A and B are shown apart, each in its own frame.
Chain A
């Protein structure tokens, strides 16, 4: 086998038409308002954690819709649940509960019991 020194690289293109997204469907069942998001970014702009990190709830919601949770969930772990996003959301989404629900739907079962620091 020849060592070419390179190979096929993964594609970034989102393919969403036939992709089953049962996790998001479950989230939608729990949080019907999640589809009301208009990606205005108010949440991101006011985010307490966003002041120190890349945290953006808008992006989290979109990424979950696109089935790209892996890349985005670490971001959500920065959330301090302060609730400012809820105050600024023009669509009145209960963002705090949404964040908690995302944890319930996407969280890992083995992380149920939190490890004390």
Chain B
């Protein structure tokens, strides 16, 4: 019988790592707290940079779960060290004794209501990037009548010390530009603004997407962090920012505002970290043995990481890291005579 490995978190990182571990001859036990596998990817409609449908990435993974024991709607009750093994107790009463645990706990979208000045949860026409994906996925038109002007606010909960997230969430810039393009494709008459601090178009084809947004779609980019959103008597929004390149305050009446919520450490990650006695960074993400040299390995025997549990990442980066983590686990388990 093959050796068990516990994988905590059934998003792309967890699923991909489980498949790789299975291919390497192990029996992964994949734990997911939500009712379905897939994480945030399951919610998303299309992916940057080329607009591939998210399910075309996820579905093949979900159809290839043979040999993987997975439990949804399940959380971790406790993890204890026993000699060179970990005893993992699950909320469904089961428990597993394994030598290696992979933490692929992912991220939570930044809670937009924490940026009080943007009025999410107070002003009806303020929505999040995830909600916009829901709309795209449902193929539904915006729920408000007469959307003529829409804005995308970059860096919501990213690069923001007051919101407790100092880090750049890496993917929101290109997501905003992707969503802006999609919006223009569906509603060419709508004026679309993007409020950004820096456009971090770091990946291949990202800059092309930006150029397309400018040239083909006429998306208007305003360099300035949105300072305040308020609501007019008819429910429309006033967005205030500085047009920093112009050097003057800017006030735009909007029919809808999309907040590009960044990646925050997933709820419960720090609790898991406590259970296995590994450090959590100042930013709330897990800390690998070496952020450059060993990004999938925890500074503790038998604990491994994959995906956004160690910081914001794109899907391809996550999948790559999942494979790397599986290999790291394999090597760890095959190396004899550990202390």
Contact = CB atoms under 8 A, between A and B. Distances in A.
Given A35-B215, A36-B211, A66-B243, A14 B249 contact: yes
Interface stretch (B123-131, B156-164, B251-259): B251-259
Contact of B253 (A13, A17, A39): A17
A101 interface: no
Given A39-B245, A62-B246, A16 B215 contact: no
B245 A58 contact: yes
Contact of B214 (A18, A36, A66): A36
Contacts of A36: 211, 214-215
Interface string B209-227: 0010011001010010000
Contacts of A58: 245
A12 B242 CA distance: 11
Contacts of A65: 220
B191 interface: yes
Contact of B246 (A14, A32, A33): A14
Given A35-B218, A36-B211, A36-B215, A14 B251 contact: yes
A13 B250 contact: yes
A70 interface: no
A38 B213 CA distance: 12
Contact of A14 (B199, B243, B253): B243
Interface residues of A, number: 21
B245 A17 contact: no
Contacts of A18: 253
A14 B248 contact: yes
Nearest to A28: B218
Nearest to B191: A17
Contacts of B248: 12-14
Counting contact residues on chain B (CB < 8 A from A), the size range is 10 to 19
B198 to A, nearest CB: 11
A17 B215 contact: no
Contacts of A63: 246
B317 to A, nearest CB: 25
Interface in A25-55: 32-33, 35-36, 38-39
Interface string A80-117: 00000000000100000000000000000000000000
A17 B149 contact: yes
Contacts of B199: 38
Interface in A60-75: 62-63, 65-66, 68
A18 B249 CA distance: 16
Contact of B252 (A15, A33, A39, A68): A15
Most buried by B among A12, A17, A32, A33: A17
Contacts of B251: 13-15
B214 A16 contact: no
Nearest to B246: A62
A71 to B, nearest CB: 10
A12 B248 CA distance: 7
A17 B252 contact: yes
A84 to B, nearest CB: 21
A35 B252 CA distance: 19
Interface in B185-199: 191, 199
Given A12-B249, A13-B250, A17-B191, A35 B243 contact: no
A59 interface: yes
B209 to A, nearest CB: 13
Nearest to B213: A35
Interface of A: 12-18, 32-33, 35-36, 38-39, 58-59, 62-63, 65-66, 68, 91
16 contacts: A12-B248, A13-B249, A14-B243, A14-B246, A14-B250, A17-B149, A17-B252, A17-B253, A18-B253, A35-B215, A35-B218, A36-B211, A59-B245, A59-B246, A63-B246, A68-B246
Given A14-B250, A15-B251, A35-B215, 19 more contacts: A13-B249, A13-B251, A14-B248, A14-B249, A15-B252, A16-B252, A17-B191, A17-B253, A32-B215, A33-B215, A35-B218, A36-B211, A36-B214, A38-B199, A39-B223, A62-B245, A62-B246, A65-B220, A66-B246
Top-6 shortest CB links A-B: A14-B250, A17-B252, A13-B249, A17-B253, A39-B245, A13-B251
